[in-house]
Structure 1
Amino acid sequence: MNTRFDEELFLTTETGRHLYHKYAEHMPIIDYHCHLQPSEILEDKEFEDLGEMWLRGDHYKWRAMRTFGIDERYITGDADFHEKYLAFASILPALAGNPIYIWCAMELKRYFDIDEPVTEENAEEIYQKTKEMIHKEHMTRRWCMEHSNVRLVSTTEDPIDDLHCHIALNKEKMFTRVITAFRPDQAMFLEKDGFSSYLDQLEAVSGVKIDSFEHMLDALETRLKYFQEVTGTTVSDDGIPHFTWENYTSGEIDRIFDKARKNEPLTAKEEDQYRSAFLFEMGRRYNRNGYVMQLHIGTYLDANTRGVAETGHSTGFDCADDQCSVTSVGELLNRLTLIDELPKTIIYPLDGTKIETWAILAAGFCGGGVKGKVQLGAPWWFNDQAFGINRQFEACANLYPVSLSVGMLTDSRSFISYPRHELYRRVFCDYLGKLAERGEYFAGEKALQKIIEDVCFNNVNEYFGLDVKYEG
Structure 2
Amino acid sequence: MGVINSEGFITDNFLLQSKVAVELYHNYAKDLPIIDYHNHLSAKKIAEKKPVKNITKAWLKEDHYKWRGMRANGVEEVFITGSKSSDKEKFLKWAETVPYTLRNPLFHWTHLELKRYFNIDKILQPSTAEVIYEQANSILEQKTPAQLLEQMKVEVVCTTDDPCDDLKYHRQIAESGNYYTKVLPTFRSDELFFIQKEEFLAYLDKLGKSAAIKINTLDDFLEVIDARILFFNTNGCRLSDFGVGEALKIEDHTTKEIMLIFDKRVNGEQLSATEIDKYRSFLFFYLGKKYHQYNWVQQYHLGPIRNNNSYLVKEIGLDAGCDSIGDFPMAEFMSKLFNTLNSQNKLAKTITYNLNPAQNEVFATMMGNFQNADIPGKMQWGSGWWFLDQKDGMEKQLNALSNMGLLSRFVGMLTDSRSFLSFPRHEYFRRILCNLIAQDVKEGLVPNDVEFLGKMVQDICYTNAVNYFNFNA
Verify same fold: TM over 0.5.
yes
Q: CA deviation at 1:285?
A: 0.5
Partners of 2:121 and 2:401 in 1: CA distance: 34
Q: State whether residues 292 and 343 of structure 1, in contact with CA within 8 Å, keep that contact through their aligned partners in structure 2.
A: yes
Structure 1 pair 12–443 and aligned structure 2 pair: CA distance change class (3 A): closer
Instruction: Give the one of 130, 133, 137 matched to 1:131.
Output: 137
Q: 1:144 matched to which residue of 2?
A: 148
Q: 1:119 matched to which residue of 2?
A: 125
Q: 2:36 matched to which residue of 1?
A: 31
Partners of 1:368 and 1:248 in 2: CA distance: 31
Partners of 1:363 and 1:222 in 2: CA distance: 33
The superposition leaves residues 190-216 of structure 1 with CA deviations (integer Å, 9 ceiling, x where unpaired) of 111211121112112113343333431
The superposition leaves residues 107-129 of structure 1 with CA deviations (integer Å, 9 ceiling, x where unpaired) of 01001111121111121122122
Q: 2:175 matched to which residue of 1?
A: 171
The superposition leaves residues 82-134 of structure 1 with CA deviations (integer Å, 9 ceiling, x where unpaired) of 11000110110010111111101000100111112111112112212222333
Instruction: Give the one of 289, 295, 306 matched to 2:311.
Output: 306
Partners of 1:460 and 1:193 in 2: CA distance: 39
Q: State whether residues 292 and 346 of structure 1, in contact with CA within 8 Å, keep that contact through their aligned partners in structure 2.
A: yes
Instruction: Give the one of 71, 80, 105 matched to 1:66.
Output: 71
Deviates more, 1:17-26 or 1:297-306: 297-306
Q: 1:205 matched to which residue of 2?
A: 210
Q: State whether residues 190 and 243 of structure 2, in contact with CA within 8 Å, keep that contact through their aligned partners in structure 1.
A: yes
Q: Does 2:391 align with 1:368?
A: no
Q: Does 2:83 align with 1:75?
A: no
Instruction: Give the one of 78, 100, 105 matched to 1:99.
Output: 105
Q: CA deviation at 1:405?
A: 1.0
Q: State whether residues 217 and 282 of structure 1, in contact with CA within 8 Å, keep that contact through their aligned partners in structure 2.
A: no
Q: CA deviation at 1:140?
A: 1.7
Q: 1:292 matched to which residue of 2?
A: 297
Q: 1:40 matched to which residue of 2?
A: 45
Partners of 1:239 and 1:276 in 2: CA distance: 15
Secondary structure of 2:27's partner?
helix
Q: CA deviation at 1:239?
A: 1.2
Q: State whether residues 6 and 123 of structure 2, in contact with CA within 8 Å, keep that contact through their aligned partners in structure 1.
A: no
Residue identity (%): 36
Q: State whether residues 33 and 156 of structure 1, in contact with CA within 8 Å, keep that contact through their aligned partners in structure 2.
A: yes
Partners of 2:109 and 2:427 in 1: CA distance: 10
The superposition leaves residues 315-338 of structure 1 with CA deviations (integer Å, 9 ceiling, x where unpaired) of 201112132421111100000011
Q: 1:19 matched to which residue of 2?
A: 24
Q: 1:160 matched to which residue of 2?
A: 164
The superposition leaves residues 400-437 of structure 1 with CA deviations (integer Å, 9 ceiling, x where unpaired) of 11111111000000001000000000110011111112
Instruction: Give the one of 463, 466, 470 matched to 1:461.
Output: 466
Q: Does 2:318 align with 1:275?
A: no
Give the TM-score taking structure 1 as reference length: 0.95
The superposition leaves residues 246-291 of structure 1 with CA deviations (integer Å, 9 ceiling, x where unpaired) of 2112222122212222232221111111111111110001000111
Structure 1 pair 443–344 and aligned structure 2 pair: CA distance change class (3 A): farther
Q: State whether residues 20 and 450 of structure 2, in contact with CA within 8 Å, keep that contact through their aligned partners in structure 1.
A: no
Partners of 1:139 and 1:28 in 2: CA distance: 20
Partners of 2:52 and 2:192 in 1: CA distance: 35
Q: Does 2:123 align with 1:85?
A: no
Q: State whether residues 461 and 467 of structure 1, in contact with CA within 8 Å, keep that contact through their aligned partners in structure 2.
A: no
Code of the aligned partner of 1:38:
A
Q: State whether residues 244 and 324 of structure 1, in contact with CA within 8 Å, keep that contact through their aligned partners in structure 2.
A: no
Secondary structure of 2:35's partner?
strand
Partners of 2:54 and 2:259 in 1: CA distance: 53
The superposition leaves residues 205-253 of structure 1 with CA deviations (integer Å, 9 ceiling, x where unpaired) of 11334333343122112111101112x2211111132211221122221
Q: 2:406 matched to which residue of 1?
A: 401
Q: 1:358 matched to which residue of 2?
A: 363
- List aligned pairs for 1:187-266, cutoff 5 A: 187-230=192-235, 232-242=236-246, 243-266=248-271
Secondary structure of 1:397's partner?
helix
Partners of 2:205 and 2:25 in 1: CA distance: 52
Q: State whether residues 42 and 169 of structure 1, in contact with CA within 8 Å, keep that contact through their aligned partners in structure 2.
A: yes
Code of the aligned partner of 1:87:
K
Instruction: Give the one of 28, 51, 54 matched to 1:49.
Output: 54
The superposition leaves residues 368-393 of structure 1 with CA deviations (integer Å, 9 ceiling, x where unpaired) of 33111111111111111111000111
Aligned length: 465
Deviates more, 1:319-328 or 1:15-24: 319-328
Q: 1:338 matched to which residue of 2?
A: 343
Structure 1 pair 89–129 and aligned structure 2 pair: CA distance change class (3 A): same
- List aligned pairs for 1:370-449, cutoff 5 A: 370-442=375-447, 444-449=449-454
Q: State whether residues 241 and 324 of structure 1, in contact with CA within 8 Å, keep that contact through their aligned partners in structure 2.
A: no
Q: 1:347 matched to which residue of 2?
A: 352
Secondary structure of 1:251's partner?
helix
Q: CA deviation at 1:66?
A: 1.1
Q: State whether residues 21 and 438 of structure 2, in contact with CA within 8 Å, keep that contact through their aligned partners in structure 1.
A: yes
The superposition leaves residues 17-38 of structure 1 with CA deviations (integer Å, 9 ceiling, x where unpaired) of 1100111011000111110111
Partners of 2:222 and 2:419 in 1: CA distance: 33
Partners of 1:62 and 1:454 in 2: CA distance: 35
Deviates more, 1:196-205 or 1:106-115: 196-205
Secondary structure of 2:186's partner?
strand
Partners of 2:368 and 2:432 in 1: CA distance: 23
Partners of 2:18 and 2:264 in 1: CA distance: 61
Q: State whether residues 44 and 140 of structure 1, in contact with CA within 8 Å, keep that contact through their aligned partners in structure 2.
A: yes
Partners of 2:334 and 2:154 in 1: CA distance: 33
Give the TM-score taking structure 2 as reference length: 0.95
Q: State whether residues 196 and 262 of structure 1, in contact with CA within 8 Å, keep that contact through their aligned partners in structure 2.
A: no
